[in-house]
């Protein structure tokens, strides 16, 4: 675990760890786009208290029993698409999602990627986004992540996955400076390393899928993702694992209550074809802006999509939820899918995980159970 700080001061602050002062080191100095410095410090594994600038920081738990999961949370500004970033209730509710999720007192937060959406200026005279920053710079990242998510950032440690909006054509500079797990700030073009987070009997394996094209096989991209999966296999160490990445391997399409194969990501599908995924109990992703579970029985791991953090949703996903069987990439799946803004809470129950999806009223509108690599979700 690592503590990071963004400061406009001339030097990095000091942490207080169990009553002792500890120096933070500079991760990145000021630039024109990011006129502040990023400081970092490794957190001692057995630390009992950590304070920074007068604030007590949440500490990692060796056995996190409650995990909040969300993704795809930024506000879209990409001409001609203009989301209502100035309406935190109905237009862009990420701040509401983060506040409600913080009240659940999670032990860990997992964000499955896509933080940065404000790519182009707000059109002149457009009230929905008037005054909004844009472009890959600090003010934009502050508006997209650090300001609206403040209550949830203060509630628990986070695991960050890289989304396609953090690729090197969009928000790559901010990603590598602020959120990437590597100890050094990488310069684009670059990928994030695969890494593992032990959560007690299960390992989260975070794999970069920012680059692989959804629709066209691109050999270099397929090979790069295959290499990331090879790194994941080396980190599994025989424990049950959840593969955490941004792009879904498998997706579905919905027309009213009819469900069809959504084709998923062709490069990811090709990379997993024939690969032994036994021991991967769950594939946890975002990218598609809805809440979807796919259970494939013994054919392959189940997949859970939680792309519900605040970005524009597909009108095809309007209520009610769609439930039923669907053939996806040569295997039969039992599907549950719905369009909602909100967040997902996973609670450990012995060897199982039970989940609840909360909407913007904080009502539970779907419940799930992960048991022995089988995922079932249903309307609450």
CA distance 251 to 303: 9
Q: Which residues contact 312 (CB under 8 A, 6 or more apart)?
A: 76, 81, 83, 289
| Phi, psi dihedrals of residue 27, rounded to the nearest 5° | -85, -40
Whole-number mean pLDDT of the chain? 97
Determine the Cα–Cα distance for residues 159 and 21; give it in Å rounded to an integer.
Answer: 26
* Under 8 Å between Cβ of 217 and 270: yes
Chain centre to alpha carbon of residue 104 = 18
Dihedral angle over CA of 104, 108, 112, 113, nearest 10: 100
Average pLDDT, integer, range 348-359 = 97
Q: How confident is the model at residue 358 (pLDDT cuts 50, 70, 90)?
A: very high
Q: Mean pLDDT, to the nearest integer, of 257-271?
A: 96
Neighbours of 67 (CB within 10 A): 24
pLDDT bin (cut points 50, 70, 90) of residue 237 is confident
Name the strand (E) or helix (H) holding 15: strand 14-17
d(CA 144, CA 167): 16
The pLDDT assigned to 316 comes to 87
* DSSP 8-state class, residue 321: P
Please check whether residue 106 is in contact with residue 156, taking contact to mean a CB–CB distance below 8 angstroms.
Answer: yes
**How far, in whole angstroms, is CA 48 from its chain's centroid?**
27
Nearest-angstrom CA–CA distance, 328 and 72: 23
Q: Using pLDDT thresholds of 50, 70 and 90, give the confidence band for residue 318.
A: confident
Does a cis peptide bond (omega within 30 degrees of 0) precede residue 320?
Answer: yes
pLDDT digit string, tens, across residues 50-70: 999 989 999 999 999 999 999
Residue count of the chain? 380
> Residue 206 CA to chain centroid, in angstroms?
10
Residue 273 has pLDDT above 90, yes or no: yes
The four Cα atoms 149, 151, 155, 160 give a dihedral, to 10 degrees, of 0
State the pLDDT at residue 104: 98
pLDDT for 77-133, tens place per residue? 999 999 999 999 999 999 999 999 999 999 999 999 999 999 999 999 999 999 999
Q: What percent of the chain has pLDDT over 90?
A: 95
Average pLDDT over residues 183-192: 97
Q: Which two tokens stand for residue 318?
A: 């309007």
Q: Is 90 exceeded by the pLDDT of residue 238?
A: no
Those residues with Cβ within 8 angstroms of residue 184's Cβ, 6 or more apart along the chain or in another chain: none
> What would the mean pLDDT of 337-364 be, rounded to a whole number?
97
Write the pLDDT tens digit of every residue in 3-59. Answer: 999 999 999 999 999 999 999 999 999 999 999 999 999 999 899 999 999 899 999
Asked whether 93 and 310 are in contact (CB, 8 A), the reply is yes
CB 263 within 8 A of CB 303: no
Note whether 181 and 157 are within 8 A (CB): no
Residue 183 has pLDDT above 90, yes or no: yes
């Amino acid at each position: 675990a690592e503590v990071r700080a963004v400061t406009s001061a001339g030097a990095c602050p000091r942490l207080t760890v169990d009553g002792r002062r500890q120096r933070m080191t500079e991760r990145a100095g000021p630039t024109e786009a990011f006129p502040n410095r990023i400081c970092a410090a490794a957190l001692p594994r057995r630390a009992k208290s950590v304070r920074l600038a007068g604030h007590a920081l949440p500490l990692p738990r060796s056995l996190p029993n409650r995990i909040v999961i969300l993704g795809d949370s930024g506000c879209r500004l990409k001409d001609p698409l203009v989301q209502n970033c100035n309406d935190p209730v109905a237009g862009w509710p990420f701040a509401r999602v983060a506040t409600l999720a913080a009240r659940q007192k999670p032990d860990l937060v997992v964000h499955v990627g896509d933080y940065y959406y404000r790519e182009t200026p707000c059109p002149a005279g457009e009230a929905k986004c008037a005054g909004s920053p844009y472009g890959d710079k600090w003010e934009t990242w502050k508006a997209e992540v650090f300001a609206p998510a403040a209550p949830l950032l203060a509630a628990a440690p986070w695991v960050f996955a890289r989304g396609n909006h953090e690729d090197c054509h969009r928000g790559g500079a901010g990603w590598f400076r602020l959120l990437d797990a590597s100890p050094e700030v990488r310069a684009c073009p670059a990928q994030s390393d695969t890494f593992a987070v032990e959560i007690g009997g299960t390992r989260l394996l975070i794999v970069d899928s920012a680059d692989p094209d959804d629709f066209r096989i691109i050999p270099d991209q397929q090979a790069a993702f295959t290499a990331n999966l090879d790194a994941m296999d080396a980190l599994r160490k025989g424990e049950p694992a959840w593969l955490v990445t941004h792009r879904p391997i498998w997706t579905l399409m919905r027309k009213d209550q009819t469900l069809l194969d959504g084709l998923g990501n062709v490069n990811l599908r090709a990379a997993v074809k024939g690969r032994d995924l036994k021991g991967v109990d769950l594939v946890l992703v975002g990218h598609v802006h809805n809440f979807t579970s796919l259970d494939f029985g013994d054919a392959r791991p189940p997949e859970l999509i939680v792309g519900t953090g605040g970005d524009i949703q597909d009108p095809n996903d309007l209520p009610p939820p769609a439930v039923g069987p669907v053939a996806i990439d040569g295997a039969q799946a039992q599907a549950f899918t719905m369009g909602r803004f909100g967040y997902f809470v996973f609670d450990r129950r012995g060897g199982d995980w039970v989940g609840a999806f909360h909407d913007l009223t904080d009502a539970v509108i779907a419940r799930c159970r992960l048991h022995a690599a089988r995922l079932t979700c249903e309307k609450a």
